[in-house]
Amino acid sequence: MKRWGMVIDMKKCTGCQTCTLSCKVYHGLGPDVVRCRVIEQETGSFPAVERMLFSLRCMHCNEPECMKACPTGATRRRADGIVTVDQDKCMGCRYCALVCPYQARTFLGVEKRYFPENGNLWENMRYKEHQVGTVEKCDFCQKRIDEGLAKGLEPGKDPAATPMCVISCIGKALYFGDLNDPASMVSNLIRERKGFALKQELGTEPSVYYLPRKR
């Protein structure tokens, strides 16, 4: 069985937020609603200061805290490891957003549009896919993956079957693939460059790995 995962090369990430924007445009996310973002973190003190950029999104954990916390069963983990929210079941209690150690969820409290009256066809179509009063999160562009697989494409290699943030990254810092396949590019990168996951001590077993800037 496949387990989709992502690898983010911190050496290549420039913090340009193209992943954030491409995600917002593709999914038609309104103001203040993000599924993917880049945050800066500084460590140490002068002169040994290090600035790190973390491209954050849902980590699609193997042991998702959000799924355990969800009272309605709206949050589910698919067989291929993608954690999804069924917006028809979510009651908007926001417990999942609270328990997520990566702050990867956003509550859509009111309808938010950048251009409420003059939205183009794409925006109008995408806005309809979001339900006010429910929680939003990254789903690794599951529709693209599922449709791509149905067409015989390979996620991570064929752009049409790969998450938007990965194909739009200008620094080619994002990789997508099957973590269960030891020969896949993501598995090789994690192995060779000592990839790490965030907050592993919590036992969530994330499916998003980061490659350190220094070897």
In the complex, what is the shortest distance from the CB of residue 53 to another protein, in angstroms, rounded to a whole number?
10
Amino acid in the structure at residue 62: N
**Which lies closer to another protein via its Cβ, residue 120 or residue 214?**
214
**Which lies closer to another protein via its Cβ, residue 38 or residue 169?**
38
Q: What are phi and psi of 101, to 5 degrees?
A: -70, -15
**Which lies closer to another protein via its Cβ, residue 41 or residue 118?**
41
In the complex, what is the shortest distance from the CB of residue 21 to another protein, in angstroms, rounded to a whole number?
17
Per CB under 8 A, residues contacting another protein are 37, 39-45, 49, 52, 54, 56, 65, 67-74, 89-95, 97-103, 107-110, 131-135, 198-199, 202-204
The three-state DSSP-derived secondary structure of 130-191 is CCCCEEECCCCCHHHHHHHHHCCCCCCCCHHHCCHHHHHCCCCCEEEEECCCCCCHHHHHHH
Asked if 33 and 111 count as a contact pair (C-beta separation under 8 A), the reply is: no
Residue whose structure tokens are 């600035």: 51
In the complex, what is the shortest distance from the CB of residue 49 to another protein, in angstroms, rounded to a whole number?
7
**Which lies closer to another protein via its Cβ, residue 16 or residue 99?**
99
